Amino acid sequence: MKRTKENIVYQVETEEIAKFAKALGHPTRIKILNHLDDASCCYTGDLLEVLPLAQSTISQHLKELKDAGLIQGTVDPPKIKYCINQENWIKAKALFNEFFSKNMNEISCK
Amino acid sequence: MKRTKENIVYQVETEEIAKFAKALGHPTRIKILNHLDDASCCYTGDLLEVLPLAQSTISQHLKELKDAGLIQGTVDPPKIKYCINQENWIKAKALFNEFFSKNMNEISCK
DNA sequence: TATATTAATCGTACATTTGCGATGAACTTA
DNA sequence: TAAGTTCATCGCAAATGTACGATTAATATA
């Protein structure tokens, strides 16, 4: 990557939807988000009971979701409480919604 | 990957949305799909004019979109015509739609 | 202060992704 | 048949992702 064609510039929207999609691109992270829906909030430890993965691995997935802006964590010592980041969630929802309706071209492929 | 926790089983829906999301997780592929919307169809060569990437690289991205089921190619010798795979597109749209509405939990994070 | 709990981070191993140029396969046209 | 066009695939290099155990940091409690 980034060898000769150095830093292609994409539209902001393009970058954003790709960033969200990338964060959603692993079943473990989908499961975490689904769990967050059911529970509305959760601690890292809760996920250890749901997912057969090491604590450090789950922590890493949480970090990716957090970096993408899809979740947020608040300290509740000695735990950390995670929940959906509503603002960005709405943003992502809108982006995907627009993306998928745009490409609904019925006349396609003459 | 796949070191000790060998083959976690996820729900089919979870696997599917992650698969689609992964394919959408790169700005080049988002741009290809947006281009397919504008043009309704396109050849690999068309994308060479739109994206500053090597032909082999674009071909690889097309393969990933095809493997995920989001696009399909039909031979039109000596070219190959790509367009959105309507069936799977609708499927993906529905999956994301459901996913994003599920997690709209306003009461979140007590 | 010492111990326990919780979760992030570090270091490591291996797989996958992304990019390139070169080559090969399929088909047209001269 | 030979040459040209189009695109896939191969082989390689570098970056990134996924998983683990071990360690560290922060806080609460004995």
Residue that wins the pLDDT comparison between B2 and B48: B48
pLDDT of residue A94: 97
Domains and CATH numbers, chain A: 12-93 (1.10.10.10)
Per CB-CB distance under 8 Å, the chain B contacts of A30 are 10, 14, 17-18, 21, 99
Q: What is the mean pLDDT of residues A80-102?
A: 95
The per-residue pLDDT for range A20-74, each reduced to its tens digit, is 999 999 999 999 999 998 777 888 889 999 999 999 999 999 999 999 999 999 9
- pLDDT-derived band at A97 (thresholds 50, 70, 90) equals very high
Judged against a pLDDT cut of 80, whether residue B47 lies above it is answered with yes
Query: Which nucleotide is closest to A28, CA to C1'?
Result: D18
First to last CA, chain B: 35
Per-residue confidence (pLDDT) for residue A43, from 0 to 100: 86
Q: Of chain B residues 12-41, which have a beta carbon within 7 Å of strand D? A: none
- Per residue in A69-79, pLDDT (tens digit) is 999 999 887 89
Higher confidence at residue A44 or residue A19?
A19
